[in-house]
Amino acid sequence: MSICFGYVSSKDEAKEALNDGFLKIYKEAYHFKASFDNEAASFIAWLKKIMINTAIDHYRKNKNQDLIQELNINQEEIRINGESGIDKLSHDELIKVVQTLPPGYRIVFNLYVVEGMTHKQVAEQLNITEGTSKSNFAKAGSFLQKKLANNSL
C-alpha cells in the first residue's frame, strides 16, 4: 500500500492501484522466475516492480482527473508549535507533504529517492528524457523546501 500511495493522490486511488497490482500478481505468478539466488528477495523485488508499474499506469490513466482535483482541493495548513526541523516531522507528515507535490514531480521524486533509481532509469520508466527527470526532481526539491520552510503541510 505504501508503494502505491507514493505515486497517486489519495488513499482510495492507492487502494485501487494495490488491488490492480495484486490481480496482476495473482494472474502472472506462474511466470515468476527468480533472478538471483535468494528466491524470497527476488520474489519481493518482482512484487515491488509490479506494484510500482501498476501505480504509474494508474497515475497515467487518471492524471487529468488528478489535475482537476488538485485545483479544487483547499489545502489545510498544519502548524507545528515552535518546532521547525525536519527531524520533528512524523512519517505521516512527511508522506503528506510529498503528497502535495504535483503528480509529475511526485512520481520522479518517489522513483529517484524512495526506489533508488537513477535519473536514466526514471526517464526510461516514464518515457521522458533524463533532463526532464533531473528538472522535475530539482523542482520537487524546491517545492518541498518551500513547504517545509513555511510549515504549511
pLDDT score, position 81: 44
Please state which of the four CATH numbers 1.10.10.10, 3.40.50.300, 2.40.160.10, 3.40.50.10860 is assigned to the domain occupying 76-153.
Answer: 1.10.10.10
Query: What is the rounded distance in angstroms from the CA atom of residue 34 to the CA atom of residue 40?
Result: 8
Q: How confident is the model at residue 89 (pLDDT cuts 50, 70, 90)?
A: low
Please check the confidence at residue 78 and state whether its pLDDT lies above 50.
Answer: no
Query: What is the rounded distance in angstroms from the CA atom of residue 25 to the CA atom of residue 140?
Result: 31
Largest CA distance in the chain: 54
- Average pLDDT along the chain: 78
Please check the confidence at residue 18 and state whether its pLDDT lies above 50.
Answer: yes
Q: How far is CA 64 from CA 102, 103, 104, 107, 152, in A?
A: 12, 10, 12, 15, 25
Q: How confident is the model at residue 68 (pLDDT cuts 50, 70, 90)?
A: very low
pTM: 0.55
Q: What is the mean pLDDT of residues 38-61?
A: 85
User: Do 3 and 55 contact (CB within 8 A), yes or no?
Assistant: yes
| Domain-wise residue ranges, the chain | 1-73, 76-153
User: Do 110 and 7 contact (CB within 8 A), yes or no?
Assistant: yes
Joined grid coordinates for residue 86: 525536519
Which of 47-51, 56-60, 68-72 is predicted least confidently?
68-72
Taking phi first (over 0 means left), then psi (-120 to 50 degrees means alpha), and beta for anything else, what does residue 82 get? left
Q: How many CB atoms neighbour CB 50 within 10 A?
A: 18
